[in-house]
């Protein structure tokens, strides 16, 4: 069996690693001329760390990530309203990761000939026996399965469902990283989330604690472009999180010299993820607001779930297996989408957002997938 994965982000790369670990040949086709990620972080949660451990990557994550030991939600003035201690009997914790480091880790886990850059998908076709992706450079790739891991602006999504326009949430995020030495009194392994209603600030360490990742959410006075690379104004950030905010929060924003402004858009939940030999994965299937910290984690779960279901099956059974993949993943991803929207409502009412819960972190996607084989 051959799987063609369109999209070389964290979801597509993780799917390729999982598929190859299950003995399924998988290649990744990425539109960019080189793999790169903006200077931003994300948190690997226990549910995706369980997947990475099964793929033999946990120790590598431990070496390049920043171990997270606690998560505190505070009011804007620093008063703690809820907290979550991390690290449990199973040995798992949470890691703050730089996106570029995670991409490098996954690429290094694949054979050199498994990644094809400068391949922008422009068309897709399939029949009963095969699926073919055509690229802008004139080349094409044929497979028994095609995985659309091509993100929030997915080209392949239109071959599964009718495209729907995203809806601007009214919120903008300022993102970036800075040397941790600029805030020397930052607590080791700490995540802090300050809730100011329509203004929120999330800060945590990445890259072995050498960097601090920050995400500052504000209400937008105009519709903001959905871009990870549009420059933001550090001075505006310092004003928005100045007077009345906790001293530690003000210390962080005062040290920002580079930031990217990202308009936050919501999308309707997709109830169909596959069509014939084509399946969607990651943001192409379930883009979500960033208020539960599960976007990349759910994409990693997708990859392991798909790989487990495809292991050892005949090519003739692929369309049926992809329907089972949809059954496995859709409702869980939708729960995170809804939870992220609910967290926005909670924070707007000056209430603490949902943090960790057993249904989030104790989930074993590989075990669940085996029940559907």
- For residue 140 the two structure tokens come to 């094409």
Confidence of residue 319 (pLDDT cuts 50, 70, 90): very high
- For residue 135 the two structure tokens come to 């690229």
Regarding pTM above 0.85, the answer is yes
Secondary structure class of 287 (helix, strand, coil): coil
| Domains of the chain by residue range | 2-38+100-165+268-370, 168-182+192-203+213-266
Q: Can you tell me which residue has the tokens 């930031």? A: 259
Task: List the catalytic residues.
Answer: 204
Give the H or E element holding residue 367: helix 365-370
Q: What percent of the chain has pLDDT over 70?
A: 96
**188 with 69: CB under 8 angstroms?**
yes
From the list 105, 36, 35, the residue with the least C-alpha distance to 65 is 105
Q: What is the pLDDT of residues 200-258, one digit of tens each?
A: 999 999 999 999 999 999 988 777 767 767 889 999 999 999 999 999 999 999 999 99
The predicted pLDDT at position 88 comes to 60
Confidence of residue 185 (pLDDT cuts 50, 70, 90): very high
CATH class held by domain 2-38+100-165+268-370: alpha beta
Q: Are strands 80-85 and 41-44 parallel, antiparallel or unpaired?
A: unpaired
Q: What is the pLDDT of residues 4-53, one digit of tens each?
A: 999 999 999 999 999 999 999 999 999 999 887 666 899 999 999 999 99
314 phi, psi to nearest 5 deg: -80, 155
At what angle are helices 295-310 and 46-54 packed, to 10 degrees?
A: 40
User: In angstroms, rounded to a whole number, what is the distance separating the alpha carbons of residues 76 and 78?
Assistant: 5
Secondary structure class of 213 (helix, strand, coil): strand
Q: Can you tell me which residue has the tokens 């945590």? A: 204
């Amino acid at each position: 069996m051959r799987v063609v994965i369109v999209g070389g982000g964290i979801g597509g790369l993780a799917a390729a690693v999982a598929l190859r670990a299950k003995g399924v040949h998988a290649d990744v086709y990425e539109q960019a001329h080189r793999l790169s990620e903006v200077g931003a972080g994300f948190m690997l949660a226990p549910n995706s760390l369980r997947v990475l451990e099964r793929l033999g990557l946990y120790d590598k994550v431990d070496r390049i990530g920043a171990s997270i030991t606690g998560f505190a939600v505070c009011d804007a003035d620093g008063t703690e309203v809820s907290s979550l201690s991390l690290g449990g009997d199973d040995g798992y914790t949470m890691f703050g990761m730089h996106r570029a480091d995670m991409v490098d880790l996954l690429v290094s886990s694949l054979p050199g000939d498994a990644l094809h850059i400068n391949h922008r998908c422009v068309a897709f076709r399939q029949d009963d026996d095969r699926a073919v992706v055509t690229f802008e450079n004139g080349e094409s790739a044929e497979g028994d399965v095609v995985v659309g891991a091509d993100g929030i602006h997915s080209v392949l999504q239109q071959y599964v469902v009718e495209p729907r326009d995203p809806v601007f949430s009214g919120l903008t995020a300022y993102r970036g990283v800075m040397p941790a030495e600029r805030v020397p009194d930052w607590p080791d392994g700490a995540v802090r989330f300050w809730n100011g209603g329509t203004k929120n600030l999330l800060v945590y360490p990445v890259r072995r604690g050498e960097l601090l990742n920050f995400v500052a959410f504000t209400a937008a006075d105009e519709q903001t472009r959905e871009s990870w690379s549009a420059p933001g104004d550090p001075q505006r950030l310092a004003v928005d999180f100045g007077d009345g905010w906790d001293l530690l929060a003000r210390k962080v924003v005062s040290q920002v010299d580079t930031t990217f402004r990202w308009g936050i858009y919501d999308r309707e939940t997709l109830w169909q993820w596959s069509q014939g030999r084509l399946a969607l994965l990651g943001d192409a299937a379930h883009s979500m607001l960033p208020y539960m910290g599960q976007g990349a984690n759910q994409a990693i779960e997708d990859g392991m779930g798909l790989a487990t279901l495809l292991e050892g099956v005949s090519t003739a059974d692929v369309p049926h297996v992809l329907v089972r993949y949809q059954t496995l993943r859709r409702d869980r991803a939708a729960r995170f989408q809804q939870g992220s929207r609910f967290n926005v409502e909670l924070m707007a009412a000056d209430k603490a957002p949902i943090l960790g819960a057993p249904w989030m972190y104790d989930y074993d996607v590989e075990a669940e997938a085996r029940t559907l084989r």
